[in-house]
Structure 1
Amino acid sequence: MQHAAADNGLAGYVDRKRRLWLFSLMVPGLALVGPLMYMLVSPNVLWLWLSTIFGYVVIPMLDGVLGEDLSNPPEEAVPALEADPYYRYVTYALVPILWISFIVNIAFLGMHELPWYGTLAVILATGGSLGFGLNLGHEMGHKKTTLERWLAKITLALGCYGHFFVEHNRGHHRDVATPEDPASARMGESIYRFVFREMPGAFFRAWDLEAQRLERCGKSVWSLDNEVLQPALISAALYALLIAWLGIEILPVMLLIAFWGAFQLTQANYIEHYGLLRRKEPSGRYERCQPHHSWNSNHLFSNWALFHLQRHSDHHAHPTRRYQSLRDFPDLPRLPNGYFGMYLLAYFPPLWQRVMDPRLLEAVGHDPQRINFLPAKREQLMRRYGLSEAPLDGAGAAA
């Protein structure tokens, strides 16, 4: 898996994960494998569950077995590491994989009579692949090149979630880990409550931000320069063509797939900042976002499958840093498993709170001024965990 460092100008540094980033192509591509096996090998519905089982069962197990990687690239190697085109080509390659997978799976559903659990399997697999598309849009949407930014929009359009391009970069990164952010989960908030705040909140914030930008530029909000409308038009054209081909009855299926794809982002947002709060400075502004305002995970396999998304702490502190050079830091809030395992845990709120609330308290030194509480549960949680509003000393005890 090693490569010649001198050939890439990395000053002697060897990225041992260089070839392993190909898992970020292979894992999303599993959504296409089930329907192909069904058509080419045998019409067994179990094939259709392959990618979902891999995501929710196999990946958490692999994370548990393989463990974590705490290594960082040396800073002197980062400029050459980020300039190496190989890493960009890997992200570029995922775009056609996701588009082909989406179109083939929609066609498969439109042309095959399946039992309800077979249809459900394809919806979950295809929506899951859209979640990987949102992750790809996240990675490329932060970059400055026109190609990467348009590839982000084209990818996000598959699941009708193009507004994420605006909302995440200009909204979430500004307001992260504050009560003003609909994409930052609060302590005591279940994922089922969070989704009703996060999904509509993300769209409305994106629209408002883009309307403000266009007004400053002297342009109409309905201009084709509107970066919410641009991917939305791609979505509308794609869905209209699929309906013309497969019939109007495919529309509800596509909408369910789009929702499940968006829910993958909701799950990630839920676990990435759960309960963490940036303090307000005397000026009334929030402190600068630091690595300890995000939950981090160094679990190997899920990071290979997600372009290092789980090194989220460094991403928020340095949002333009490319995935291959994201770092771990000591004393960060840490997740007990990778994202896929944490998704499962979040589906059971009492279990989630039993696992994550103590970790949250430890991460913030039992200081309620560093906790983003669900307002309706603040007093209840304060009593449950014996928290005090009094300022804490350096040891985490009430002064």
Structure 2
Amino acid sequence: MTTLVPTPAMDQPYRDRKRYLWLMSLFVPTLGLLGPALYLLVSANVFWLWLSPAFFYFGIPLLDALIGEDQSNPPEQAVPGLEADAYYRWITYLLVPLLWLGFILNAMFVATQALPWYGVLAMIISTGGGLGFAINLGHEMGHKKSELERWLGKLALALCCYGHFFVEHNRGHHRDVATPVDPASSRMGEHIYRFLLREMPGGYRRAWQLEKERLARCNKSVWSLDNEVLQPALISLVLYGGLLAVFGLVLLPYLLLTAFWGGFQLTSANYLEHYGLLRRKLDNGRYEICQPHHSWNSNHLFSNWALFHLQRHSDHHAHPTRRYQSLRNFADVPRLPSGYFGMYLLAYCPPLWFRVMNPRLLAAVHGDASRINFQPGLREQLMQRYGLQEHAA
């Protein structure tokens, strides 16, 4: 049985020690503007453009290792007050225009500067990394009930041409998570590049099918403007079409590759969030309710500040509308050895990923093969390699 980390009794009014550190969620995603600013104001050196990618993929894992983890939880008595505090919502509101501004300014920079190919590559990785934060913001806001937050979530997702995620994640992934039918749940033995070919097209197809079914129940056409896949897609079309109209088709490869790299950040997160974990199938043919032990978690502080507590993923799946500031740590759920950014680098090198994560997966499921989501065709090979039994005790 999954248990919460105990919290002290509230003898005094609760004070969120991370209250102002959540401003990192505004600062880190906008670092993509740093390189172009230094390039224009200090010297036209392509080195500056690689600062943001270096910080995202090396600096943040280092900070996670140095700062460490926070396993504390807010007392449940304090959660209603935390949820009602507008300060936390305003951080998410402010990030939307900042992300839009950064994306447009970086596109202008690429279009107007004579950059070598490796300078453009740096901008693709840097700006695409920022789009990964935009998808994460769309994830946080898309689960909320207010129309304002849901539309702001669509605006954030539109930056990356990934508006279908609004439907796919909320109504598809949360239903099918940690099962073989979920394209967004990775399997033991499946490397990230194989997962990419299943997850990206699978997400599009599932989103379209879900929205088609919903609109049919409402007696509306799938091509209606009520289609929540088409709504952010039209915003993307206006944004990208406007940039191409101003700067020409020469900008198209940069925009498409940047959007892909942004989407790949989501793929990377999906890959590690449920790797190899499986919900049991019940006698009635349905899967058990998603439990906290069906997600991998990390309490590393810096990356959680930058990602709105996305890494406390178990509580998110248990309570999707719970706001980021009040997501909880569980004591006995699967743990990642680093925050997401460090795990991304590990995932990009499959032999290292399997060496680190397969033993952790076996420990998380206590060696029970019936709780592992195997890559088809590799089940027997992996069971033999790790000494697993078909029916664990």
> TM-score if structure 2 supplies the norm length?
0.97
Name the residue aligned to 1:353.
354
Q: Which amino acid aligns with 2:387?
A: G
Question: Equivalent residues in 2 for 1:53-202 (5 A)?
Answer: 53-202=54-203
Q: Percent identity?
A: 72
Residues paired across the two proteins, number: 384
In the alignment, the residues of structure 2 paired with residue 158 and residue 341 of structure 1 have an alpha-carbon distance, to the nearest angstrom, of 25
Name the residue aligned to 1:387.
388
Name the residue aligned to 1:46.
47
Name the residue aligned to 1:5.
none
In the alignment, the residues of structure 1 paired with residue 73 and residue 30 of structure 2 have an alpha-carbon distance, to the nearest angstrom, of 28
Structure 2 counterpart SS, 1:160: coil
The answer as to whether partners of 2:157 and 2:232 remain within 8 angstroms in 1 is yes
Q: Compute the RMSD of aligned alpha carbons.
A: 1.1
Report the CA distance between 1:282 and its aligned residue. Answer: 1.1
> TM-score if structure 1 supplies the norm length?
0.95
In the alignment, the residues of structure 1 paired with residue 354 and residue 294 of structure 2 have an alpha-carbon distance, to the nearest angstrom, of 19
The answer as to whether partners of 1:134 and 1:155 remain within 8 angstroms in 2 is yes
Report the CA distance between 1:206 and its aligned residue. Answer: 0.1
In the alignment, the residues of structure 1 paired with residue 260 and residue 307 of structure 2 have an alpha-carbon distance, to the nearest angstrom, of 20
Report the CA distance between 1:11 and its aligned residue. Answer: 6.6
Name the residue aligned to 1:285.
286
The answer as to whether partners of 2:369 and 2:391 remain within 8 angstroms in 1 is no
The answer as to whether partners of 2:367 and 2:392 remain within 8 angstroms in 1 is no
In the alignment, the residues of structure 2 paired with residue 346 and residue 196 of structure 1 have an alpha-carbon distance, to the nearest angstrom, of 15
The answer as to whether partners of 1:11 and 1:77 remain within 8 angstroms in 2 is no
Q: Which amino acid aligns with 2:363?
A: E
The answer as to whether partners of 2:167 and 2:211 remain within 8 angstroms in 1 is yes
The answer as to whether partners of 1:28 and 1:129 remain within 8 angstroms in 2 is yes
Name the residue aligned to 2:237.
236
Gaps of 5+ in 2: 1-10
In the alignment, the residues of structure 2 paired with residue 123 and residue 58 of structure 1 have an alpha-carbon distance, to the nearest angstrom, of 18
Structure 1 counterpart SS, 2:373: coil
Deviations 1:244-296 (A, max 9, x none): 10001111110000000000000000000000000011111100001100000
Structure 1 counterpart SS, 2:181: coil
Q: Which amino acid aligns with 1:266?
A: T
In the alignment, the residues of structure 2 paired with residue 77 and residue 197 of structure 1 have an alpha-carbon distance, to the nearest angstrom, of 41
The answer as to whether partners of 1:198 and 1:266 remain within 8 angstroms in 2 is yes
In the alignment, the residues of structure 2 paired with residue 145 and residue 187 of structure 1 have an alpha-carbon distance, to the nearest angstrom, of 38
Structure 2 counterpart SS, 1:376: coil
Name the residue aligned to 2:305.
304
Gaps of 5+ in 1: 1-9, 393-399
In the alignment, the residues of structure 2 paired with residue 237 and residue 182 of structure 1 have an alpha-carbon distance, to the nearest angstrom, of 29
In the alignment, the residues of structure 1 paired with residue 281 and residue 165 of structure 2 have an alpha-carbon distance, to the nearest angstrom, of 26
Structure 2 counterpart SS, 1:234: helix
In the alignment, the residues of structure 2 paired with residue 391 and residue 54 of structure 1 have an alpha-carbon distance, to the nearest angstrom, of 43
Q: Which amino acid aligns with 2:233?
A: A
Runs of 4+ in 1 over 3 A off after TM superposition: none
Name the residue aligned to 1:35.
36
Structure 2 counterpart SS, 1:379: helix
Deviations 1:282-325 (A, max 9, x none): 11110000110000000010000100000001101111100000
